């Protein structure tokens, strides 16, 4: 993932005389030469655009998983949040996030802005090649176009806030949540992303996170943990004795569809992080990703069968996601057997983690904290225990540094944002609105109007 910095942020300072042999050549001439000299250039670009589309469809997966795991009276609200987050993530990444994450310069901790307000370059200064301020030709990257790279990164940006959405579902106010999402995905996520993928201090320290077990998933998981803690549990989640009472999801087929959409999207999430269409590298990543998810399903199934005497579909679906999150940090490093082991451990972890958070009364309707935070931490640590980096001196410490630093920063930012919103405008709906459902209270609409009393 360190190549993301080389491919996006740093315009490689090389004159046309060195790269192409003639200062007077235009960007169009240089592009023609690149296409002629690199037959894989078009294939790389098409593959990255396809991966961008796959990551985009993951947002539909998040929406359907969250809706399926929660009550029908909150479905409109959940789908609305997941739709708005996509727009917020793309726009904030355009305005500020891309510039914070992939700057032309920085001190290792904070980026130095290299452009004006908008983080993407003007039309005339982007593409595969361009001209610098002295009129000399330079190249952004040799793998795919500037626009493709920007959009691929923008798809990642919204994911962190989407993770938070599931953990605070069914009782969070819409307006404050959208304010939180805007700042969290616009500023917090790009800063920690810069530390590694933008060539910052974690990259220099040897930290490895291929596609975001920590930089995407645990970032969202920390935000989810703080949000769920400050909101408190849903009404009726715990009885007078403090015992947990399950609040069942209303549509398990919808949740299952969402998980398979996410699994499909992960082929773009991890496969695109290769940053090329290299046949060996991409196919290896897709294999390790698939095996880890399959193993997560099997271990979650076995664990629930032993604990509950019957296999639990919700836990099995989260087991698939747990395996995917767990392999994301090291999908480029692992053998097939190592991927299976990582997925098996993730599937067990997610079951016990869900039970643990229920016991300490942190109400997470979809298991987002367990899937993305706990398994994100596990996947990041697994880089030091398995794969081609296992046993390297200092690798475990580098992984711990990344987990702790990114976690601390994300947790503090999320806590400050949620606390400011809590003491000013409030972050939780009223008891009456929660009882009636957020679909009516926040939107004045039903997700299933033909099943309401007025339409029976």
Q: Is the pLDDT of residue 17 over 60?
A: no
Tell me the pLDDT tens digit for each residue of 267-316.
999 999 998 898 899 999 999 999 999 999 999 999 999 999 999 999 99
- Report the pLDDT value the prediction gives residue 42, as an integer from 0 to 100: 80
Buried-exposed string 123-140: b where 16+ CB fall within 10 A, e elsewhere: eebbbbbbbeeeebbbbb
Q: Cα-Cα-Cα-Cα dihedral of 167, 169, 172, 174, to 10°? A: 120
Q: Is the pLDDT of residue 10 over 50?
A: no
**CA 24/CA 249 separation, integer angstroms:** 64
Segment (H or E) for 404:
helix 395-424
Give the torsion sign (CA, 279, 34, 114, 104). positive
Q: Could you give the percent of the chain with pLDDT greater than 70?
A: 82
CB neighbour list of residue 437: distance below 8 Å, 6 or more residues apart: 71, 72, 73, 74
- Report the pLDDT value the prediction gives residue 170, as an integer from 0 to 100: 97
Q: Could you give the percent of the chain with pLDDT greater than 90?
A: 71
Tell me the pLDDT tens digit for each residue of 197-239.
988 999 999 999 999 999 999 999 999 999 999 999 999 999 8
Q: Is the pLDDT of residue 31 over 70?
A: no
- Give the number of other Cβ atoms within 10 Å of residue 433's Cβ: 15
Contact predicate 347/296, CB 8 Å: yes
Strands (DSSP E) contained in 166-210 are: none
CB neighbour list of residue 314: distance below 8 Å, 6 or more residues apart: 69, 249, 252, 255, 367
Burial of 357 (0-12, 13-18, 19+ CB in 10 A): buried
**CA 347/CA 326 separation, integer angstroms:** 9
Q: Is the pLDDT of residue 336 over 60?
A: yes
Residue 220, CB half-sphere, CA atoms under 13 Å: how many? Answer: 31
Tell me the pLDDT tens digit for each residue of 377-406.
999 999 999 999 998 999 999 999 999 999
Query: Nearest-CA neighbor of 247 among 431, 385, 71?
Result: 71
Contact predicate 94/118, CB 8 Å: yes
More confident residue, 453 or 69: 69
| Domain boundary assignment for the chain | 2-446
Q: Is the pLDDT of residue 456 over 50?
A: no
Overall average pLDDT of the 363-376 stretch: 97
In degrees, rounded to 5, the angle at the alpha carbon of residue 179 between the alpha carbons of residues 178 and 183 is: 115
**pTM of the shown model:** 0.89
- pLDDT interval class at 11 (50, 70, 90): very low
Query: Nearest-CA neighbor of 292 among 351, 350, 348, 340?
Result: 340
CB neighbour list of residue 26: distance below 8 Å, 6 or more residues apart: 131, 137
Tell me the pLDDT tens digit for each residue of 102-157.
876 666 777 665 554 455 665 555 565 554 556 554 555 556 778 888 899 999 98
Specify the CATH superfamily of domain 2-446. Answer: Ammonium transporter AmtB like domains (1.10.3430.10)
**CA 423/CA 246 separation, integer angstroms:** 30
Instruction: Locate 49 and state its tokens.
Output: 């655009």
Tell me the pLDDT tens digit for each residue of 397-449.
999 999 999 999 999 999 999 999 999 999 999 999 999 999 999 999 999 98
How far CA 71 is from CA of 242, 366, 367, 448, in Å, comes to: 22, 11, 15, 12
């Amino acid at each position: 993932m360190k190549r993301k910095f080389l491919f996006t942020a740093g315009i490689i300072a090389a004159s046309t005389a060195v790269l192409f042999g003639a200062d007077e050549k235009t960007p169009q001439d240089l592009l023609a030469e690149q296409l002629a000299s690199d037959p894989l250039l078009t294939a790389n670009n098409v593959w990255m655009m396809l991966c961008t589309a796959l990551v985009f469809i993951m947002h539909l997966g998040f929406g359907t998983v969250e809706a399926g795991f929660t009550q029908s009276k909150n479905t409109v609200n959940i789908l609305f949040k997941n739709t708005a987050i996509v727009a917020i993530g793309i726009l904030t990444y355009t305005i500020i996030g891309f510039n914070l994450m992939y700057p032309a310069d920085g001190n290792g901790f904070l980026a130095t802005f290299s452009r004006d307000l908008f983080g993407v370059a003007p039309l005339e200064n982007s593409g595969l090649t361009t001209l610098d301020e002295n009129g000399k030709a330079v190249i952004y990257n040799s793998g795919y176009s500037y626009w493709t790279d920007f959009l691929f990164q923008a798809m990642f940006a919204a994911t962190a806030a989407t993770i938070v959405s599931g953990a605070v579902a069914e009782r969070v106010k819409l307006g404050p949540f959208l304010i939180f999402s805007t700042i969290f995905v616009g500023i917090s996520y790009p800063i920690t992303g810069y530390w590694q993928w933008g060539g910052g201090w974690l990259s220099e320290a040897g930290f490895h996170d291929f596609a975001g077990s920590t930089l995407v998933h645990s970032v969202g998981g920390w935000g989810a943990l703080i949000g769920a803690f400050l909101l408190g549990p849903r009404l009726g989640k715990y009885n007078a004795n403090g015992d947990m009472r399950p609040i069942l999801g209303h549509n398990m087929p919808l949740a299952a569809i969402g998980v398979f959409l996410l699994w499909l999207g992960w082929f773009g999430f991890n496969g695109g992080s290769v940053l090329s269409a290299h046949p060996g590298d991409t196919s290896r990543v897709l294999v390790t990703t698939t095996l880890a998810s399959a193993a997560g399903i099997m271990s979650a199934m076995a664990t629930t069968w032993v604990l509950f005497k019957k296999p639990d579909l919700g836990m099995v679906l989260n087991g698939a996601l747990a395996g995917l999150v767990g392999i994301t940090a090291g999908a480029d490093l692992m053998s097939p057997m190592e991927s299976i082991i990582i997925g098996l451990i993730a599937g067990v972890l997610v079951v016990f983690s869900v039970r643990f958070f229920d016991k300490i009364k942190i109400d997470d309707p979809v298991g987002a904290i367990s899937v993305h935070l706990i398994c994100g931490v596990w996947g990041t640590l697994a880089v030091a225990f398995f794969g081609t980096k296992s046993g390297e001196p200092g690798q475990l410490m580098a992984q711990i540094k990344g987990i702790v630093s990114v976690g601390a920063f994300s947790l503090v930012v999320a806590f400050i944002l949620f606390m400011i919103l809590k003491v000013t405008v409030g972050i939780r709906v009223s008891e009456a609105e929660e009882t009636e459902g957020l679909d009516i209270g926040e939107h004045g609409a039903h997700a299933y109007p033909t099943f309401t009393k007025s339409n029976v």
